[in-house]
Amino acid sequence: MQGRRIRVRGQVQGVGFRPFVWRLARREGLVGEVSNDAEGVLVLAAGEAGALERLRGALSGEAPPLARVDAVEVADWAVPDPAPESFTIAASGAAGAETRVTPDAATCPDCLAEIRDPAARRHRYAFTNCTHCGPRFTILRALPYDRARTTMAPFEMCPACRAEYEDPADRRFHAQPIACPDCGPRLWAETAEGAALDGDAVALAAEALMAGRIVAVKGLGGFHLACDATNPAAVAELRRRKRRPAKPFALMAGEAVLAEHAAPTGAEWARLRAPAAPIVLIAKAGAALPEALAPGQGALGWMLPYTPLHHLLLDALGRPLVMTSGNLSGEPQVIGNDEAREKLAGFADLFVMHDREIARRLDDSVERITPAGPMVLRRARGRVPGTLPLPEGFGEAREVLALGGQMKAAICLTKNGQALLGHHLGELDEALTWEAFGQALEDYRALFDHKPEVVAVDLHPGYRATRAGEAMGLPLERVQHHHAHLAAVMGENLWPRGGGKVAGIVLDGLGLGADGTIWGGEVLLGDYAGFERIGRLAPAPLAGGDAASREPWRNLMVRLDAAGLGALADALMPDQPREALRRAVAAGVNAPLSSSAGRLFDAFAFALGVAPGRMSYEGEAGMLLEAVAAQAGPGPGWPFAVAEGVIDPAPMWQAWAAARGTPVPLAAAMFHEGLAAAFAGVARAAVADGRAQAVALSGGVLQNAVLEAALMRYLEGVPVLRHNKVPANDGGLAYGQALVAAARGLGAA
């Protein structure tokens, strides 16, 4: 008899890993034990050599659906005398921060079958879950992850649930949120005035939705506002009440209904069906839905039902629902019952409530599949608190706390070769988002047992996250905004610290540059520790300062003026206060120079009549321009001048002005092509002359699939690093900041 001591590291607790090992060991005729401890799962197994080898391979090859195995470390184990008589599940050791917390997971097929089975104990029970699915992070109050430290603590298990919980052969073995109608949370419906209603909550909600009403539904990470997505009047009323005129709504439907209104690819279905159950952007197809769901867009954001309550509701309706965050405009999602009654009463006609508390706000994740691969636009429910491995060369790095930026805020912590990139928080100007930022700091530091040695922040002194870092009394690393974007895409592609420099095409709205000006259209040559700027968009004034980010006509005026086309600007914008703004720009009043690619997109979208004069949400003009360009497909591009790395759009404006009859979709596509060709040319040159080993793509503008596809064509034959797990937008900023700060602490690679 041979013995092995097997250490399994990764996301291996709270996912059914011990009973999985127990079943494997019994299958192979092994004896010994398996336990949880501070480092993960520990297996002590004895038996025939071949059986031990098969066990080792199966630990990663056959792991439970929610497990993420990072490492399987094997050493000899001196089998005690006498040897164990069987294989057992031992009591857990001390909890530790190396074991990870599993993200929330969508209802598994077995639990779904239960709630649909009239003979099952959990028939139509809205809180059915098991080891393979259900709430995790949204109910956790503290480590270790056991029921007493979750919001399930008030619900004492009945004898039937207790028996399942204690049976290693049952899929509910040690499932902390285990519940049933006899002992678990309950569901009810109430009016907008807070009066509880008699009757089945799901049936009452379905009736209200069919009648065109708006229903607030309590989910995993907060409330959604729901309405019938096939009812134009209901959609319009929801927009009116939320004061959300144009920003796309997310949709939820079962697979059969979704397939009536979209044609997901295999990769898109895989994302939709994943345990994370994100919103996935999918091209419109099939039976048409109201245009008001996503005005001007060529895709809709779809998600499958991910809780038993969602399944029950959609089963009753047989049609898609709008499922948008339940919040006041600009505020974070509502999570508490009393908070919902106070803040959503003006939006909802009916509430579907339950009495299981939500420990933390978590928005739905948003993702898309582009021709180049997957892309995460918003990293939230289902993806956090999963960790990311640090690249080679960061093994001895100090523990870093990175605080991100002002928009799409998220924080990041590094420790023991892993980075924990937190969930999407929102805009830190909002008081409740700032409060959630503070809670996230406490949460993640406790979950990771994190003791930061350095804090990384953005260069911008006015960002609330930067000021918070300055107040911590720890060594501070200030990281330039676009360098952080570059480091983030390098890191998620595991570019080694000593792997050489890359040429980063970093395109976004704006970030404070190293020279004190506003950047946003850059080619950086750099690595984790430093960079130089080798290319940039020719700068233009942000006429009116922050107003230029909201009103695209301002950017069009300054760009046309710079191209010698002031008369055309006058003709296109006769009702705007152009002369007053020109005087302010000439005097340098509230008109900082910026190389922002985002503002150039705004300008061209307004020039084509695609974007409104004032945007109602961030990125609106760019998204509308992308949607129009996608109708035309690739082709020739408008000319951009490139001299010593400076990319000047003036020739593009002149060519477009001379061909004003060009169809709008073709003109939009030519804009994307011309911009991509210019930036790719600067980056390719750095690779060709040996200064860079690869090209990296990052920044919020790189969420544009049309632009990304064009860049990939112009970079064919060159190694390209792109985002697929970390947001290209500012949601990934903290991850890049953490890598830069860690690299600086390690010195030369």
We report the CATH number of the domain holding residue 580 as 3.30.420.40
Whether 724 is catalytic: no
- What is the Cα–Cα distance from 393 to 498, expressed in whole angstroms? 7
Question: Is the Cβ–Cβ distance between 181 and 135 less than 8 Å?
Answer: no
- Position 472 scores a pLDDT of 96
Helix (H) or strand (E) holding 616: none
Check whether residue 717 and residue 745 sit in a common domain.
no
Q: Indicate if the pLDDT at residue 748 is higher than 90.
A: no
- What is the Cα–Cα distance from 483 to 202, expressed in whole angstroms? 49
- Position 99 scores a pLDDT of 57
Task: Compute CA distances 658 → 17, 587, 602, 654, whole Å.
Answer: 66, 31, 20, 6
Catalytic residue among 4, 9, 36, 533: 36
- Position 101 scores a pLDDT of 82
- DSSP alpha helix (H) spans, 244-371: 255-261, 266-273, 308-317, 337-343
Question: Is the Cβ–Cβ distance between 100 and 61 less than 8 Å?
Answer: no
- What is the Cα–Cα distance from 345 to 69, expressed in whole angstroms? 45
Task: Compute CA distances 517 → 427, 502, 545, 592, whole Å.
Answer: 22, 23, 12, 7
Check whether residue 711 and residue 737 sit in a common domain.
no
- What is the Cα–Cα distance from 214 to 732, expressed in whole angstroms? 34
| % helix, strand, coil for the chain, step of 5 | 35, 20, 45
Averaged pLDDT for residues 354-371:
96
Tell me, what CATH number does 65's domain have? 3.30.70.100
Residue 41 pairs in a beta bridge with 8, 36
Domain boundary among 71, 89, 107: 89
Domain membership of residue 494 (yes or no) is: no
Question: Is the Cβ–Cβ distance between 641 and 651 less than 8 Å?
Answer: yes
Q: Indicate if the pLDDT at residue 89 is higher than 70.
A: yes
Domain membership of residue 361 (yes or no) is: no
Helix (H) or strand (E) holding 354: strand 350-354
> Would strands 418-421 and 502-512 be described as parallel, antiparallel, or unpaired?
unpaired
**pLDDT, tens digit, 9 for 90 and up, residues 210-245:** 999 999 999 999 999 999 999 999 999 999 999 999
Of 443 and 349, which is predicted with more confidence? 349
**pLDDT, tens digit, 9 for 90 and up, residues 667-722:** 999 999 999 999 999 999 999 999 999 999 999 999 999 999 999 999 999 999 99
Question: Is the Cβ–Cβ distance between 64 and 17 less than 8 Å?
Answer: yes
Domain membership of residue 158 (yes or no) is: no
- Which range among 9-13, 500-504, 574-578 shows the weakest confidence by mean pLDDT? 9-13
Domain membership of residue 12 (yes or no) is: yes
DSSP summary character for residue 731: G
- Position 38 scores a pLDDT of 79
Q: In the 3-class helix/strand/coil scheme, how is 508-554 assigned residue by residue?
A: EEEEECCCCCEEEEEEEEECCCCEEEEEEECCEECCCHHHHHCCHHH
Domain membership of residue 564 (yes or no) is: yes
Strand extents, DSSP E, 572-635: 593-594
Catalytic residue among 4, 9, 18, 213: 18
The half-sphere exposure of 187 on its side-chain side, counting CA atoms within 13 A, is 25
Question: Is the Cβ–Cβ distance between 723 and 493 less than 8 Å?
Answer: no
391's torsion region: left (phi>0), alpha (psi -120 to 50) or beta? beta
Q: In the 3-class helix/strand/coil scheme, how is 695-724 assigned residue by residue?
A: EEEECHHHHCHHHHHHHHHHCCCCCEECCC
- Position 96 scores a pLDDT of 55
- What is the Cα–Cα distance from 392 to 29, expressed in whole angstroms? 39
C-beta neighbour count of 729 within 10 angstroms:
26
Check whether residue 325 and residue 404 sit in a common domain.
no
- Position 332 scores a pLDDT of 84
Check whether residue 699 and residue 737 sit in a common domain.
no
Tell me, what CATH number does 333's domain have? 3.90.870.40
**pLDDT, tens digit, 9 for 90 and up, residues 601-629:** 999 999 999 999 999 999 999 999 999 99
Per-residue confidence band for 447, with pLDDT thresholds at 50, 70 and 90:
confident
Of 93 and 478, which is predicted with more confidence? 478
Check whether residue 576 and residue 645 sit in a common domain.
yes
Check whether residue 676 and residue 730 sit in a common domain.
no
Averaged pLDDT for residues 110-134:
97
Per-residue confidence band for 144, with pLDDT thresholds at 50, 70 and 90:
confident
The half-sphere exposure of 581 on its side-chain side, counting CA atoms within 13 A, is 25
**pLDDT, tens digit, 9 for 90 and up, residues 181-208:** 999 999 999 999 999 999 999 999 999 9
Place of tokens 């200064």: 691
Check whether residue 566 and residue 596 sit in a common domain.
yes
Closest C-alpha among 596, 662, 665 to residue 634: 665
Check whether residue 728 and residue 717 sit in a common domain.
no
Domain membership of residue 449 (yes or no) is: yes
Domain membership of residue 380 (yes or no) is: no
Check whether residue 577 and residue 595 sit in a common domain.
yes
Per-residue confidence band for 98, with pLDDT thresholds at 50, 70 and 90:
low
Domain boundary among 89, 112, 128: 89
Question: Is the Cβ–Cβ distance between 92 and 36 less than 8 Å?
Answer: yes
* Neighbour-count burial of 393, counting CB atoms closer than 10 A to its CB (0-12 exposed, 13-18 middle, 19+ buried): middle
Check whether residue 691 and residue 731 sit in a common domain.
no
* Structure-token pair, residue 748: 């030369």
Whether 614 is catalytic: no
Backbone angles phi, psi at 353, to 5 degrees: -110, 160
Place of tokens 């994740």: 365
- Position 584 scores a pLDDT of 95
Tell me, what CATH number does 735's domain have? 3.30.420.360
* Structure-token pair, residue 285: 């197809």
- Position 8 scores a pLDDT of 95
- Position 749 scores a pLDDT of 72
Domain membership of residue 76 (yes or no) is: yes
- What is the Cα–Cα distance from 142 to 439, expressed in whole angstroms? 12
- Position 272 scores a pLDDT of 98
Whole-prediction pTM: 0.95
| Rg of the chain taking only CA atoms, in angstroms | 27
Check whether residue 729 and residue 715 sit in a common domain.
no
Across the chain, mean pLDDT equals: 95
Domain boundary among 51, 72, 89: 89
**pLDDT, tens digit, 9 for 90 and up, residues 456-491:** 999 999 999 999 999 999 999 999 999 999 999 999
Question: Is the Cβ–Cβ distance between 739 and 490 less than 8 Å?
Answer: yes
Domain membership of residue 640 as a residue range: 535-721
3-state secondary structure of 350: strand
CA angle 634, 640, 645 (to 5 degrees): 120
State the total domains in the chain: 4
Check whether residue 339 and residue 420 sit in a common domain.
no
DSSP summary character for residue 231: -
Averaged pLDDT for residues 416-428:
93
Question: Is the Cβ–Cβ distance between 16 and 63 less than 8 Å?
Answer: no
Contact residues for 649 (Cβ-Cβ < 8 A; gap 6+): 537, 538, 559, 563, 600, 640, 675
Helix (H) or strand (E) holding 190: strand 187-191
